């Protein structure tokens, strides 16, 4: 970064303000400054970006195929990774400009639903920082995940127009566009490249996202004959493919759109990889897999397997067997969930309509696979379980395709991988034990500590004497020697209070609710899903409120319960839980009689940038999924890294978090996986309902008119989910244990320094949850790729 100095940054900003907006520093709006600063920085890194491409050319590269990249904002992160945040802040201060306002004007790139998409984003950061040749391939949705608003407590969805201020960090590469063919239409995939800047490194990796466009802007003949909408029809059909992240796929047309997205992603990306390979190595041979490895992020990009075979056989004229062998050495698959409904299955008939050749290839792969199973002595019943195409309903099972062809299958936390091996995918594990691996998830310490909590970062750096921990998070363990140092703990508490004040201010501005920074911040933020049990949390809070009304002297600290969650638009129960929680918040926040002793805030439009404000301000990280259901969780790691104890079940990565930081520094409750297995066949929620008056009282509010649900029967349906449909997620069974554990929190919170020590030890022990560790394991154990430093 030797070319960057104060003078040329300043002149760069002035130049771009002038040529893009005809503005000067005095008249520029925040979004204009955001663009001008971003372009100035981009200009300065282009050469290093090019050099990194060169550096990676002759070595093995890994490609992360993902339908989601939940990147969030770019500017602040890039400033941190370039190591120039403080310099830019100084320049802005000198110019009388507000850097923070410029950071805040940036829209999140919200091209993902939740953990899976955010993990992909963290992996990109770690890949660049570790200086490994890792490229991300995805889709450039014009609209990311919807913007969430509340009306009368109900969730409303609005289009997310993240591109409204431009996207200065991406570069459109028309010259590297590729053609993608569906049976009924041919489209163009245009790549947009975003630089992924390694932390204080000269390596700049690439995230390449495809935008779908028509081959021709419009049909000239139709336009001439004044059939204007018909003239634009093909354009609209092409644009629709990358218009929005995961449209509701309940109907046939939604399904078709999603399949088109998936095929667009894999077809364009594979052609790109093959073009580059041929430029470097000439004709394709089995050598291909010595230079390329593709990680499939869940089943969404699994169509890449038959598509690679199609390209190799039909276009490159390889034998089918050779093409299949190449695939077997090229693809690895990550599973992110054991929820049956999330394992993708598609009607073969849809494949026939959209890409019949792909279906043909899948059938050939399947018949080769089935002969292998027969020769191994499997019977028809067993073969049917393994079969890629389900003989009974003609559905293509994407996970089966991925596991049968891919050379590696991994889960995302120890428990999750064990469940895959021992139950969910046990038949596969017995067939191919060598394929199964665990790769516990991680988060990037750059965004999730260094950027979002500069106060704590600076303190850590001060204590350790250097910033090495940002690249080597295990260094945090060296902080343990301060765990009994009261001066350190006081300062640590002070930082927490600062972050709570900042959050309180933001919440006041954005949600219009005042919260007390001196209250206990108990935070549950994540996608809304029944298994994550936001409902259990709400029911608990309502019970606490009732008890407080009965006994105003109840011995609890002042508490603020914060929720953030988006519900899938078609997921009725999730939306009812949003409404219920908002109703509870309203009831409690407006009841003067409890003197603000508890408050509930459901922040709207939870996002990456909101998480960056919430995680550093939490006193308690709530991770209360039904044991066995949360594959890993990564929000839990973000809270831990910022010093919040986990209040959670023994599920997903919570288990590893507690192993690292000690049961005494966290609050573990509830049924364990084994308990649930044992209870499942004899579980009766009515037993709990009848035996626990407090529980009964809160559940009855769903049907006794305490809350109104616009006569949609939404609350009756929630009641039924608990009481008449067997309470699948064991909400009633875990209620008492949760409540007892909350009491332990209240007790522990009284002793300030003892509390601070728990929090501090969470920070000290978070080293293992760096995505640098995770990516290093992918490199060593799956991809077999090496560090490749850009030295040009």
- The residues annotated as belonging to the active site are 336, 526-527, 532, 634, 638
CB 164 → ligand 26W: shortest distance, Å? 25
- For residues 168 and 633, which CB has a smaller minimum distance to ligand 26W in the complex? 633
| Contact residue for ligand 26W among 631, 671, 759, 788 (CB under 6 A) | 631
262 binds ligand 26W, rule: CB under 6 A: no
Close Cβ partners of 95 (under 8 Å, ≥ 6 residues apart): 10, 25
Question: DSSP string spanning 690-750?
Answer: HH-HHHHHHHHTTTSSSS--TTS-HHHHHHHHHHTS--TT-HHHHHHHHHHHHHHHHHHHT
Task: Find the part of the chain contacting ligand 26W (CB under 6 A) among 111-119, 176-184, 210-218, 346-354.
Answer: 111-119
CB 629 → ligand 26W: shortest distance, Å? 8
365 binds ligand 26W, rule: CB under 6 A: no
302 binds ligand 26W, rule: CB under 6 A: no
515 binds ligand 26W, rule: CB under 6 A: no
- For residues 75 and 209, which CB has a smaller minimum distance to ligand 26W in the complex? 209
Distance CA 560, CA 517 (A): 9
- Alpha-carbon distance values, 751 to 401, 456, 745, 758 (Å): 55, 21, 11, 11
| Contact residue for ligand 26W among 62, 97, 116, 731 (CB under 6 A) | 116
- Alpha-carbon distance values, 538 to 634, 646, 669, 695, 766 (Å): 22, 18, 17, 12, 29
* Contacts of ligand 26W in 411-450 (CB under 6 A): 412, 441
Q: What are phi and psi of 521, to 5 degrees?
A: -90, 110
| Contact residue for ligand 26W among 185, 342, 703, 723 (CB under 6 A) | 342
Residue 78 tokens read as: 């890039």
297 binds ligand 26W, rule: CB under 6 A: no
Q: What are phi and psi of 441, to 5 degrees?
A: -60, 170
- For residues 520 and 658, which CB has a smaller minimum distance to ligand 26W in the complex? 658
Q: Beta strands of 8-65 (E only): which ranges?
A: 61-65
Tell how far CA 675 is from the center of its chain.
Answer: 29
- For residues 246 and 482, which CB has a smaller minimum distance to ligand 26W in the complex? 246
Nearest Cα to 193, choosing from 202, 204, 203, 201? 204
Q: What are phi and psi of 209, to 5 degrees?
A: -115, 135
CB 683 → ligand 26W: shortest distance, Å? 24
Distance CA 551, CA 542 (A): 14
Task: Find the part of the chain contacting ligand 26W (CB under 6 A) among 4-12, 109-117, 198-206, 493-501.
Answer: 109-117
Query: Binding string, 518-547, against ligand 26W, x = CB under 6 A?
Result: ---------x--------------------
| Contact residue for ligand 26W among 45, 119, 241, 565 (CB under 6 A) | 119
- For residues 80 and 782, which CB has a smaller minimum distance to ligand 26W in the complex? 782
Nearest Cα to 417, choosing from 430, 426, 406? 426
- For residues 412 and 722, which CB has a smaller minimum distance to ligand 26W in the complex? 412
| Contact residue for ligand 26W among 38, 81, 113, 178 (CB under 6 A) | 113
R_g over Cα of the chain: 27
| Contact residue for ligand 26W among 48, 103, 213, 344 (CB under 6 A) | 344
397 binds ligand 26W, rule: CB under 6 A: no
630 binds ligand 26W, rule: CB under 6 A: yes
Distance CA 726, CA 580 (A): 20
Task: Find the part of the chain contacting ligand 26W (CB under 6 A) among 49-57, 114-122, 656-664, 675-683.
Answer: 114-122
The residues with which 154 forms a beta bridge, in sequence order, are: 151
- For residues 292 and 632, which CB has a smaller minimum distance to ligand 26W in the complex? 632
Close Cβ partners of 92 (under 8 Å, ≥ 6 residues apart): 98, 99, 102
Residues that bind ligand 26W (CB under 6 A): 113-116, 119, 336-337, 342, 344, 412, 441, 527, 630-634, 652
């Amino acid at each position: 970064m030797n070319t960057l100095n104060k003078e040329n940054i300043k002149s760069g900003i002035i130049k771009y303000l002038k040529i893009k907006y005809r503005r000067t520093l005095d008249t520029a709006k925040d979004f204009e400054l955001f663009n001008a600063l971003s372009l100035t920085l981009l200009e300065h890194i282009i050469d290093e970006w090019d050099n990194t491409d060169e550096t990676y050319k002759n070595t093995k590269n890994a490609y992360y195929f993902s339908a989601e990249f939940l990147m969030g904002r770019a500017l602040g992160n890039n400033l941190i990774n370039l190591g120039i945040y403080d310099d830019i802040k100084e320049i802005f201060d000198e110019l009388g400009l507000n850097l923070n306002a410029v950071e805040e004007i940036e829209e999140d790139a919200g091209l993902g639903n939740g953990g899976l998409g955010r993990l992909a984003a963290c992996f990109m950061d770690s890949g660049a920082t570790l200086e490994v040749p890792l490229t991300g391939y995805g889709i450039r949705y014009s609209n990311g995940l919807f913007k969430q608003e509340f009306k009368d407590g109900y969730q409303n969805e609005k289009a997310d127009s993240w591109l409204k201020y431009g996207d200065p960090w991406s570069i459109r590469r028309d010259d590297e566009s590729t053609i993608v063919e569906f049976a009924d239409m041919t489209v163009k995939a245009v790549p947009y490249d975003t630089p992924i800047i390694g932390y204080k490194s000269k390596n700049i990796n690439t995230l390449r996202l495809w935008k779908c466009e028509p081959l021709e802007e419009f049909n000239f003949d139709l336009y001439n004959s004044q059939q204007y909408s018909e003239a634009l029809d093909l354009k609209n059909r092409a644009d629709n493919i990358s218009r929005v992240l995961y449209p509701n796929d309940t109907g046939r047309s939604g399904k078709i759109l999603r399949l088109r997205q998936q095929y667009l992603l894999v077809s364009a990306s594979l052609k790109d990889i093959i073009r580059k390979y041929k430029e470097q190595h000439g004709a394709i041979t089995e050598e291909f897999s010595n230079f390329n490895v593709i990680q499939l992020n869940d089943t969404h990009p699994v169509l890449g397997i038959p598509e690679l075979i199609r390209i190799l056989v039909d276009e490159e004229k390889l034998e089918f067997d050779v093409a299949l062998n190449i695939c077997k050495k090229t693809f690895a698959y990550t599973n992110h969930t054991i929820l049956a409904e999330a394992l993708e299955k598609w009607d073969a008939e849809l494949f026939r309509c959209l890409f019949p050749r792909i279906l043909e290839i899948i059938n050939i792969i399947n018949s080769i696979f089935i002969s292998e199973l027969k020769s191994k002595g499997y019977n028809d019943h067993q073969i049917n379980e393994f079969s890629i195409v389900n003989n009974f309903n003609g559905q293509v099972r994407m996970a089966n395709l991925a596991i049968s062809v891919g050379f590696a299958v991994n889960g995302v936390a120890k428990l999750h991988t064990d469940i895959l091996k021992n139950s969910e995918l046990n038949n596969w594990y017995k067939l191919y034990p060598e394929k199964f691996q665990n790769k516990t998830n991680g988060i990037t310490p750059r965004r999730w500590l260094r950027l979002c909590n500069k106060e704590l970062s600076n303190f850590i750096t001060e204590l350790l004497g250097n910033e090495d921990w940002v690249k080597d998070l295990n260094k945090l363990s060296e902080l343990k020697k301060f765990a009994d140092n009261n001066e350190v703990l006081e300062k640590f508490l002070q930082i927490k209070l600062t972050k709570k004040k900042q959050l309180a201010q933001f919440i006041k501005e954005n949600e219009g609710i005042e919260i007390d920074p001196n209250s206990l911040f108990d935070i549950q933020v994540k996608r809304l899903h029944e298994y994550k049990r936001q409902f259990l949390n709400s029911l608990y809070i309502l019970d606490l409120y009732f008890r407080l009304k009965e006994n105003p002297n109840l011995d609890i600290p002042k508490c603020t319960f914060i929720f953030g969650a988006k519900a899938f638009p078609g997921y009725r129960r999730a939306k009812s839980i949003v409404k219920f929680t908002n109703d509870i918040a309203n009831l409690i926040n407006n009841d003067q009689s409890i003197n603000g002793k508890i408050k509930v805030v459901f922040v709207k439009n939870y996002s990456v940038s909101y998480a960056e404000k919430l995680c550093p301000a939490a006193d308690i990280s709530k991770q209360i999924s039904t044991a066995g259901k949360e594959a890993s969780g990564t929000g839990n790691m973000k809270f831990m890294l910022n010093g919040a104890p986990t209040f959670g079940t023994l599920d997903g990565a919570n288990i590893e978090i507690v192993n690292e930081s000690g049961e005494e520094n966290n609050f573990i409750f509830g049924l364990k996986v084994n308990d649930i297995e044992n209870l499942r066949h004899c579980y009766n929620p009515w037993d709990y309902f009848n035996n626990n008056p407090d529980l009964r009282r809160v559940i009855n509010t769903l049907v006794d008119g305490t809350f109104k649900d616009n006569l949609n029967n939404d609350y009756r349906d929630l009641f039924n989910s608990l009481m008449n449909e067997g309470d699948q997620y064991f909400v009633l069974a875990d209620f008492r244990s949760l409540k007892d554990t909350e009491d332990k929190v209240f007790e522990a919170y009284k002793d300030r320094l003892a509390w601070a020590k728990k929090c501090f030890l969470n920070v000290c022990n978070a080293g293992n949850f760096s995505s640098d560790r995770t990516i290093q394991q992918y490199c060593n154990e799956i991809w077999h790729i090496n560090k490749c430093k850009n030295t040009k």
